Amino acid sequence: MAGPRALLRQCPLLLPQDRHGTAYEGFVTAQGRNFHIRILLPVDLQLKNARIECSWRLKRILHGHRHILKQRLHSCPDLVSFMVELKTVLEIALKNTQDLHIPRPPEYYSCLVRDLEILGWNRVAYVDTGLTTVKLKAEDSCGRQHLITLKLNAKYPTEPPDCLVDFPVPFAVSWMPQNSLIDIHNQFLAALESLKEFWDALDEIDGKTWVLEPENPTRSATTRRIAIGNNVSVNIEVDPRHPNMLPECYFLGADHEVNPLRTKLNNNMHLWDPEVSLLQNLRELLGIDFPSRAVLEKSDFAKDCGICYAYRLEGSAPDHVCDDPRCGQPFHQACLYEWLQGLSTSRQSFNVIFGECPYCNK
């Protein structure tokens, strides 16, 4: 979970206005310019319910990107990630705003309309009224729907458009002045197929296990926190270029629960079979059956923090558990750290703090 220091590094001019972290005000910087912004979060700190207030100048610049920002609010795990996305969108918006002041010759429009007709309107999902933003749709070989957003500058087709995609890897367009939108669409389709095995692996996990985080994964998300049992889970990070290889695995839960799982993984990792699905490999290496979506509810694993009594805190679920087998109460890292800092009996050694469980006092 990203904290205040990470936010300060990304946006040094955006400062908290209260001790609860529900209000931030200051400036966001892009292309050497500062824009006033105010972010108001609900008590549960859910980004999807946040309210953003900004200057009229920033509002005008971001007007055509509101749908993207709304999507990012729903998908970003914390405020730091959202501010990084906001700055990226703002950079693109400023670039396109500058392009709007460049008169576009008639050839620009005739060339664009011709390219759209050659491509086929059935592949076009959206075109803005100024003919500067185009969204193309495509379906991969497994029937998954995808979008690519094109931001065209005044020198199109001499220069390629900026391309925005929901990919876990960078997407760069190979472009020459004689190219057209159909070349971009073909490259988009090829990139979709190169990521097929990655999305197949994660779709199987999303469909057959209880994923605790991310709550609504985007196609660019490479991590999944999968429920194993009561307050026990494993966080995996899959390499999108090598999705059939052993992923990074990090177990969360009480030591007496996760230590045997770590031992099994270390002892059996040589048995990993790239010809078998990622989920099946995890089952066999760990010697477990992940809880089935058909039998159990997510609420059986999504236990609230024992301090704030909420499940989500800045987009994150509880990730620390009391090691006492009779307790096993989960906590958010931020809640637990603040609680232990307030206890006179706690002690700290370097970056580790030791203290009593807020739930059972062990």
Average pLDDT of the chain to the nearest whole number? 86
Higher pLDDT, 344 or 203: 203
pLDDT (average), residues 15-37: 86
Higher pLDDT, 167 or 73: 167
User: What is the spatial distance between Cα 95 and Cα 68, in angstroms, rounded to a whole number?
Assistant: 16
Pick from 102-111, 172-181, 183-192 the range whose average pLDDT is largest: 183-192
Report yes or no: 133 and 151 within 8 Å, Cβ to Cβ: yes
pLDDT of residue 296: 63
pLDDT of residue 92: 83
Task: Name the phi and psi angles at 285, rounded to 5.
Answer: -70, -40
% the chain with pLDDT above 70: 94
All domains in the chain, ordered by first residue: 4-100 (3.10.110), 106-194 (3.10.110.10), 209-301 (3.10.110.20), 303-361 (3.30.40.10)
User: What is the spatial distance between Cα 160 and Cα 150, in angstroms, rounded to a whole number?
Assistant: 9
Residue 61 has pLDDT above 70, yes or no: yes
pLDDT of residue 1: 43
pLDDT of residue 264: 94
pTM, 2 dp: 0.63
User: What is the spatial distance between Cα 221 and Cα 203, in angstroms, rounded to a whole number?
Assistant: 12
Q: At how many degrees (to 10) do helices 181-194 and 196-208 cross? A: 60
Taking only the tens place, the pLDDT of each residue in 76-95 is 888 888 888 888 888 888 87
User: What is the spatial distance between Cα 67 and Cα 84, in angstroms, rounded to a whole number?
Assistant: 16
- Helix and strand totals (H; E) in the chain: 10, 16
Residue 105 has pLDDT above 70, yes or no: yes
pLDDT (average), residues 212-224: 90
Token pair of 95, please? 């670039």
Residue 44 has pLDDT above 60, yes or no: yes
pLDDT of residue 97: 66
Strands (DSSP E) along the chain, which ranges? 14-16, 23-30, 33-40, 51-54, 124-127, 133-139, 145-151, 162-165, 211-213, 223-229, 232-237, 248-252, 320-321, 330-331, 347-349, 352-354
Pick from 29-38, 85-94, 169-178, 336-345 the range whose average pLDDT is largest: 169-178
